[in-house]
Amino acid sequence: MKKIIMTFGLVLTTLFSLAQTTVVDIIVNSEDHTILEAAVVEAGLVEALSDTTGTFTVFAPTDSAFITLATELNLEVEDLLELPNLTDILLYHVLPEVYLGEVLLPPSINSMLITLLPEEPMYTQSDGTTVTIATANGYASVIVTDLIADNGVVHVIDAVLSPVGEPETTTVVDVIVDSEDHTVLELAVVQEELVETLSGEGPFTVFAPTDAAFTALAEAFNVEVTSLLELQNLTDILTYHVVSGTVLSTDLTDGMEATALNGGTLTFTVDSMGVEVGTAAVGPAMVIVADIVTDNGVVHVIDAVLVPETPSSISEIELDILMDNVYYNIMGQEIRSYNDIPLNSVYIINGRKFIKVQN
């Protein structure tokens, strides 16, 4: 009798070890995916997605996502199951390879993934915190990741996907142009004919001063903002804000140096206060928005305008003022006395540049 019980136990153990969980099982066992389950059955995809030799990644819209879609199309939810392209819609939610959340999460934009609808790839992007997927009506967000099955993984999304075709590329220039806080920088980039360069293949890392940064600079030197666009070495100043390559905030370390496009050196200070970049004309230049990722690089927003250190920089305004013992601001304007120099601003005397840190 003992031998029979032991044998029966071995049979049960064998059966349990052979039982495998598939991506279909995860959908069927979810209370939030009853409509997706019905759709998979209706489209005859149960067998294909239950293949235990498969390596699927399924982006699974919730019931709420299907209800929203039905409302947008002015249909009943049941009518969605009768759509002539239902199978294609479902196949567009499935990738033939396993992509875990840790693979999708690093900052990216318009990453192309091949779906089970080969002629219609999927485009994802991430800000490092949230993964989104392009759809015809916007974006679907991944709200639950890494429901692991023996034949793949399921990620829950909050909208039903539909093929969108190849998205337009986004450049660092597009970020500047589309920003309401960078109108002065946009004018400067256009005026100095840097649009084509910064719209190229790159990649570029741009430290983008805000309009407030340019305004603060103009006010410190008692000039109009438009006067800053008349600086003879404006191109030099702008390219001092650009580094070749994609440098994310996570790549920056304290004391790190990078060569700007103008040949100058940017030094980074990373501490509990944040990230400080290079030398600013007025006050420290802090990164206030990081990692705006584009197809040709990344943009970091900073709150001050940087001052280049190259031989052609504004620190050497004109040779005839190198030894006249007179203070000048970076606009080349004479300053009457040291007391008139704004605190934390750059000044030049005898061809050398200094920062006033105390009165």
Domain boundaries, the chain: 19-157, 169-359
Dihedral sign for Cα atoms in the order 65, 69, 71, 75: negative
For domain 169-359, give the CATH number: 2.30.180.10
**Residue 46 near residue 38, CB atoms below 8 Å:** no
pLDDT of 267 over the 80 cut: yes
DSSP string, 144-185: EEEEEETTEEEEEESS------SPPP--HHHHHHH-TT-HHH
Report the C-alpha gap between 75 and 318 in whole angstroms: 73
pLDDT at 314: 40
**What is the enclosing helix (H) or strand (E) of 113?**
strand 108-113
130-134, 263-267, 353-357: least confident range: 353-357
What's the mean pLDDT when you consider all of the chain? 83
Measured CA distances, 115 to 127, 162, 290, 325 (Å): 22, 12, 31, 69
The architecture of the domain spanning 19-157 is Roll (2.30)
What is residue 309's predicted lDDT score, i.e. its pLDDT? Answer: 57
Phi first, then psi: what are they for 281, rounded to 5°?
A: -70, -40
Name which residue leads in pLDDT, 293 or 1. 293
CA dihedral sign of residues 249, 252, 253, 254? negative
* Identity at 259, one-letter amino acid code: T
User: Before 203, cis peptide (omega within 30)?
Assistant: yes
Determine the Cα–Cα distance for residues 266 and 276; give it in Å rounded to an integer. 10
Cβ-based burial of 33 (10 A; exposed 0-12, middle 13-18, buried ≥19): buried
For 246-275, letters b (16+ CB in 10 Å) and e give bbebeebeeeeebebbbebebebbeeeeeb
CB 98 within 8 A of CB 55: yes
310 class by beta-carbon count within 10 Å (0-12 exposed, 13-18 middle, 19+ buried): middle
Average pLDDT of the segment spanning 284-302: 91
Higher pLDDT, residue 284 or 205: 205
Does residue 320 have a pLDDT over 60?
no
Question: 3-state DSSP call for residue 57?
Answer: strand
What the block records as the tokens of 79 is 């009518």
pLDDT band for position 270 (50/70/90)?
very high
CA atoms of 65 and 62, how far apart (whole Å): 5
Q: What is the CA radius of gyration of the chain?
A: 29
Q: Note the pLDDT tens digit of each residue in 105-120.
A: 988 877 889 999 878 8
- Six token digits for residue 250: 């996570």
Which of 102-111, 161-170, 250-259 is predicted least confidently? 161-170
Do 19-157 and 169-359 share a fold?
yes
Query: What SS3 state is found at 130?
Result: coil
Average pLDDT over residues 165-177: 80
Q: Nearest-CA neighbor of 340 among 328, 322, 331?
A: 328
Map residue 87 onto helix, strand or coil.
Answer: helix
H-helix or E-strand containing 258? Answer: strand 257-259
